Amino acid sequence: MLKSEKIYVAGHNGMVGSAIVRRLQSLGYDNIIVRSRRELDLTNQMAVREFLEQEKPSYIYLAAAKVGGIFANDTKRAEFLYENLMIEANVIHAAWQAGVNRLLFLGSSCIYPRDCPQPIKEDYLLTGPLESTNEPYAIAKIAGVKLCESYNAQYGTQYVSAMPTNLYGPNDNYDLTSSHVMPALIRKAHEAKNNGSVSLHVWGSGRPKREFLYVDDMAEACVFLMENDVKEGLFNIGVGEDVTIEELARTIMDVVGFSGEIIFDASKPDGTPRKLLNVDRMTSLGWKAKTDLRDGIALAYSKFLESHGH
Ligand code: GDP
């Protein structure tokens, strides 16, 4: 990849897109184009088509998506399905029309069946029913994977799909009704400490297990896939180990410096019991996550303090 080739990062204001831009810039790529949501509505087919026809980037990172935690996914089911289908159908189809041969499509580990064997291999896709709390989002992302595969098969494009495990880091969403567990618990532990509370509220039983990847590692993996000229396929991006939500809460409390008790809120859903990714495919290409969970939480917390004050 030449450092001067035009690269479009869709979703550059989000946690993943902004990390990809940081990674590309740090490697010296100097022709990165971005558009805010106000400048380009990716659910608008004509607007997307005109933009890509005009710009004709050599590479696209498709990190734009409607995303959220278990509560948002479960309650805004229509938007999660509709907006994600529109964004990916518009961008992938218009990319092909504009002659863009290289694209990286980003999804999430929730595309895999709820009860599939752990750790989850890429081959388990479409082998069983999905977790219901995020089924609309997962269906949209599976459609995106299939769009990439289909354009590759029919038209010879090189559209690759990367499915990260739960991500966290700078520019995460700390809104408690729409966030994922990591930012939610960082914020709750921070506020509990500041308010002199005696307890931290954790949704569900605390027993589900989740795997967490620092977003800068994810961005590194995405650029790695592009730079290594991977032609097609689905790639799990994770760390290869998971923790229970209770263990996560205790580590966050420790990093934040809050030492109250945990109260589990059984009125909130647990979601899928476990979704640990098998990362052999990436390991065999030579990529491995670097950031340890505790270090990553400390980095995320310091960014949270910068952006959300004290
Ligand atoms: P999921 O991985 O799609 O289930 O999404 P989340 O990251 O939102 O939730 C992961 C797990 O953490 C679920 O079992 C949640 O019930 C649990 N959890 C515990 N406390 C919280 C919280 O304050 N917010 C969120 N979003 N999840 C929480």
pLDDT in tens, 138-177: 999 999 999 999 999 999 999 999 999 999 999 999 999 9
| 28 Cα: distance to centroid of ligand 1 (angstroms) | 37
Question: Which atom of ligand 1 is nearest to 68's Cα?
Answer: 8
Question: Which atom of ligand 1 is nearest to 185's Cα?
Answer: 23
Confidence of residue 1 (pLDDT cuts 50, 70, 90): confident
The helix or strand, by DSSP H or E, that contains position 279, with its residue range, turns out to be: none
Buried (b) or exposed (e) across 46-56, using 16+ Cβ within 10 A? ebbbebbeeee
Query: Do the beta carbons of residue 72 and residue 84 sit within 8 Å?
Result: no
Return the best residue to mutate from 180, 200, 263 for the ligand 1 pocket (most ligand atoms within 8 A of CB). Answer: 180
| Mean pLDDT rounded to a whole number for the chain | 97
3-state SS, residue 14: coil
Residue owning the nearest CA to atom 25 of ligand 1? 181
Non-local (6+) Cβ contacts of 292 within 8 A are none
| 274 Cα: distance to centroid of ligand 1 (angstroms) | 12
8: annotated active-site residue: no
| 141 Cα: distance to centroid of ligand 1 (angstroms) | 20
Question: Which atom of ligand 1 is nearest to 134's Cα?
Answer: 3
Query: Do the beta carbons of residue 69 and residue 178 sit within 8 Å?
Result: yes
- Phi, psi at 281, each rounded to 5°: -60, -45
Q: Which amino acid is at 250?
A: R
Question: Which atom of ligand 1 is nearest to 268's Cα?
Answer: 16
Euclidean distance between CA atoms 16 and 131, whole angstroms: 23
For residue 178, what are its two tokens? 């729409």
Catalytic residue among 8, 29, 137, 159: 137
Cα four-point dihedral sign 17, 137, 175, 246: negative
Residue 309's pLDDT is what?
72
Residues flanking ligand 1, CB < 6 Å = 69-70, 110, 134, 166, 179-181, 184-185, 202-204, 208, 210, 245, 268-271
Query: For the segment 57-111, what is each residue's pLDDT rounded down to a tens digit?
Result: 999 999 999 999 999 999 999 999 999 999 999 999 999 999 999 999 999 999 9
For residue 22, what are its two tokens? 């940081």
Query: Do the beta carbons of residue 157 and residue 62 sit within 8 Å?
Result: no
pLDDT at 23 over 80: yes
Confidence of residue 41 (pLDDT cuts 50, 70, 90): very high
- Concatenated DSSP letters of 56-124: --SEEEE-------HHHHHH-HHHHHHHHHHHHHHHHHHHHHTT--EEEEE--GGGS-TT--SSBPGGG
Beta bridge partners of 233: 160
Beta bridge partners of 161: 105, 234
Euclidean distance between CA atoms 121 and 117, whole angstroms: 8
Return the best residue to mutate from 15, 66, 70, 245 for the ligand 1 pocket (most ligand atoms within 8 A of CB). Answer: 70
Residue owning the nearest CA to atom 27 of ligand 1? 181
Return the best residue to mutate from 80, 141, 199, 203 for the ligand 1 pocket (most ligand atoms within 8 A of CB). Answer: 203
Percent of the chain with pLDDT over 70: 100
| 103 Cα: distance to centroid of ligand 1 (angstroms) | 30
Euclidean distance between CA atoms 305 and 174, whole angstroms: 11
Euclidean distance between CA atoms 50 and 125, whole angstroms: 34
| 256 Cα: distance to centroid of ligand 1 (angstroms) | 19
Pairing of strands 158-164, 166-168: unpaired
Euclidean distance between CA atoms 238 and 227, whole angstroms: 19
| 71 Cα: distance to centroid of ligand 1 (angstroms) | 8
Measured CA distances, 56 to 45, 88, 159 (Å):
16, 17, 16
pTM of the model: 0.96
Residue 310's pLDDT is what?
63
pLDDT average, residue stretch 266-271: 95
